[in-house]
């Protein structure tokens, strides 16, 4: 699902630029009330970008740390030239560490080919459904099925989640922002997608990618996901 990951990164990069422009405009006209709201939005977007970029490159946060330190050292040199020799050593050290991280080859976190095929098999009624396991040890999965001309994505029922695992308030908010809602019995969350709108798997993969990268980032998901086909 690396294409969907890249699309999410592009989306949030554009959202970040938009918020930065709005923030600058508010500060220009001393509108501090709205400026604080845009600052809060920027913090949220930056957090999401850090998470997404971590999945794109697990060394991203380390590289960002070294880049930020190098930028900071250059500012310190301007303020206090007397310690420039010491600062130059620090810059050289961090640049070396940054170069080493940049040359490391990163393996894709998820492969989407099998998932693509399963989505089309489901839509074309070659299978009845499938489970996309995110973390087997806690029984966290997404169930895909078709009912009443809707492709349904169902999260593990609350009562079936493994010990010491629960969907908290923040996860619930993020899932609802994506479009998940509780079913009538309040036993699980589901997403309904009209089959008449289905053209390819891109939209569905984007939904799944958001669940993975935006909701369950901190839950140490399985590096290799498994599909369980039904019928």
Q: How far apart are CA 172 and CA 157, in angstroms?
A: 13
Alpha carbons 15 and 38: distance in angstroms, whole number: 11
pLDDT tens for 42-82 read 988 888 888 778 767 767 778 888 999 999 999 999 998 88
Kindly report, residue by residue over 101-117, the tens digit of the pLDDT.
Answer: 777 655 444 556 788 89
Which residue do the tokens 């977007």 mark? Answer: 45
The larger pLDDT score, comparing residue 205 to residue 3, is at 205
pTM: 0.60
Residue 88 banded pLDDT, cuts 50, 70, 90: very high
Query: What distance in Å separates the CA atoms of residue 73 and residue 2, rounded to the nearest whole number?
Result: 34
| pLDDT at residue number 218 | 58
Q: Are 116 and 202 in contact (CB under 8 A)?
A: no
Please give the Cα distance from 76 to 81 (Å, whole number). Answer: 8
- 165 pLDDT more than 90: no
- Domain locations in the chain? 1-58, 60-105, 113-230
Report pLDDT for 229: 92
Among the four given CATH numbers 1.10.1060, 3.30.70, 3.90.1150, 3.30.1460, the one describing domain 113-230: 3.30.1460
In whole angstroms, give the CA distance from residue 67 to residue 107: 22
């Amino acid at each position: 699902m690396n294409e969907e990951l890249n699309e999410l990164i592009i989306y949030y990069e554009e959202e970040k630029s938009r918020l930065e422009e709005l923030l600058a405009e508010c500060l220009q006209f001393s509108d501090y009330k709205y400026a604080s709201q845009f600052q809060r939005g920027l913090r949220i977007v930056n957090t999401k970008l850090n998470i997404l970029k971590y999945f794109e490159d697990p060394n991203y946060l380390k590289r960002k740390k070294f880049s930020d330190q190098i930028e900071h050292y250059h500012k310190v040199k301007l303020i206090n030239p007397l310690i420039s020799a010491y600062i130059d050593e620090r810059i050289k050290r961090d640049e070396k560490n940054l170069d080493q991280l940049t040359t490391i080859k990163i393996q894709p976190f998820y492969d989407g080919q099998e998932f693509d095929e399963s989505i089309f098999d489901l839509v074309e009624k070659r299978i009845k459904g499938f489970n996309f396991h995110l973390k087997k040890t806690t029984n966290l999965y997404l169930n895909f099925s078709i009912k009443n001309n809707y492709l349904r994505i169902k999260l593990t029922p609350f009562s079936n989640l493994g010990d010491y695992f629960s969907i908290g308030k923040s996860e619930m908010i993020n899932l609802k922002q994506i479009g998940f809602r509780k079913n009538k019995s309040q036993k699980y969350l589901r997403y309904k997608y009209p089959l008449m709108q289905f053209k390819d798997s891109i939209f569905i993969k984007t939904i799944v990618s958001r669940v993975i990268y935006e909701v369950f980032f901190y839950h140490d998901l399985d590096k290799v996901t498994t599909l369980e086909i039904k019928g």
